Amino acid sequence: VFCSVVLPFVNQIHNMKTFFALVFVHVCGLKRGETPIRWKRVCGTFPTTLQKETRTCAVVSGSPVLLNASHGREIDAADTVIRFNLHPTEGFEADVGERESVRVVNEKVMRWWLNDEHLNGFYPESTYWLSCTLCGAGSLHSMDQAGFSRLARDLTAKFPGTRFFNLEETGVQSKAVDLLHSFYGDFKMRAGLTTGAVGIFAALPVCSEVFLYGFSASTSRNASDYTEYFSTLPAGGRDGGDHLVHHGSFLFETDFWRRLAVTPHQDIDRTNVAMIPGTSMCKVM
């Protein structure tokens, strides 16, 4: 009862916000996280299938916990491999693999590519799911849906041979935000969900089994240390605490994946890999 009452108010705290969030998610999430999320509350949330269903999907985060974990071969063995933004594989193949089926990118990366910046991270043969972290969720609202749709159309026109899908048209982010609020209360957000979370929610109706690499909360992961496996600097030039304020859902996302996973929690703690059944699970409910 204590956790269910206090946790929704954690994100209202501004001073020492990160500290309190970490404490309560650890106590109410990781320690109490042996209580799984029931699929009946999740079914019906996810978007229309974006592509033909596949058996296994490896969804690869940018978390530094993947370094020296040697997950590369098992990631590459998945039927579909999903990566994010400009996360590289070259030089990290042993840990994160090298195959790529889908890459989920946000509006910042899309603008870079339209301006011919960072094109070394663009692979024309991949399929791209386009996600807006500043549309329809959070308090910033610095881009509206119409503006993002124009951005998506411009990108499609610039690279006509590449497959792009606008995730905002599926409503996945707004549905996912509502779902997280139903579990964790009405926490504040400056921006929407992390690009990783949107990609995972979009993957669930596509994959029978979704293997998350470095996404789930675990005892070996310090969520406040938001760095990436390919950089010693904080993501986007922000420190971890500011990232947690910007994406107010981040700690709740990692706890949610842990609760939704069928992987034993001691294995998640040991490997930082969590398996979530796809929404085919809903068909047997």
| Buried-exposed string 180-191: b where 16+ CB fall within 10 A, e elsewhere | beebbbebebbb
Q: pTM of the predicted model, to two decimals?
A: 0.82
pLDDT tens-digit map of 84-117: 999 999 999 999 999 999 999 999 999 999 999 9
Which CATH entry fits the domain spanning 2-30+57-277: 3.90.1480.20, 1.20.990.10, 3.90.870.40, 3.30.70.270?
3.90.1480.20
Q: Quickly state the pLDDT bin for 252 (edges 50, 70, 90).
A: confident
pLDDT score at 280: 66
202 vs 16, more confident: 202
Residue 191, amino acid: A
DSSP 236-258: GG--HHHHHHHSTTHHHHHHHHH
Q: Per-residue pLDDT averaged across 113-134, rounded? A: 92
Q: Which two tokens stand for residue 101?
A: 């089926």
Distance of CA 201 to the CA centre of its chain: 8
Q: Taking Cα atoms as reference points, which of 175, 187, 98 lies closest to residue 136?
A: 175
Residue 23, amino acid: V
* Segment holding 22, helix H or strand E: helix 17-25
Three-point CA angle 258, 25, 210, nearest 5°: 15
Residue with tokens 């603008």: 111
Residue with tokens 């599926």: 170
Q: Quickly state the pLDDT bin for 134 (edges 50, 70, 90).
A: confident
Three-point CA angle 117, 121, 127, nearest 5°: 115
Separation of alpha carbons 228 and 134, rounded Å: 21
Q: Which two tokens stand for residue 118?
A: 């960072």
pLDDT score at 285: 53
Separation of alpha carbons 50 and 271, rounded Å: 29
* Segment holding 6, helix H or strand E: helix 2-6
Q: Per-residue pLDDT averaged across 29-56, rounded? A: 63
Residue 208, amino acid: S
Q: Per-residue pLDDT averaged across 189-195, rounded? A: 79
Parallel, antiparallel, or unpaired: how do β-strands 207-213 and 273-277 relate? Answer: antiparallel
pLDDT for 27 beyond 50: no
Q: Taking Cα atoms as reference points, which of 115, 105, 260, 277 lies closest to residue 206?
A: 277
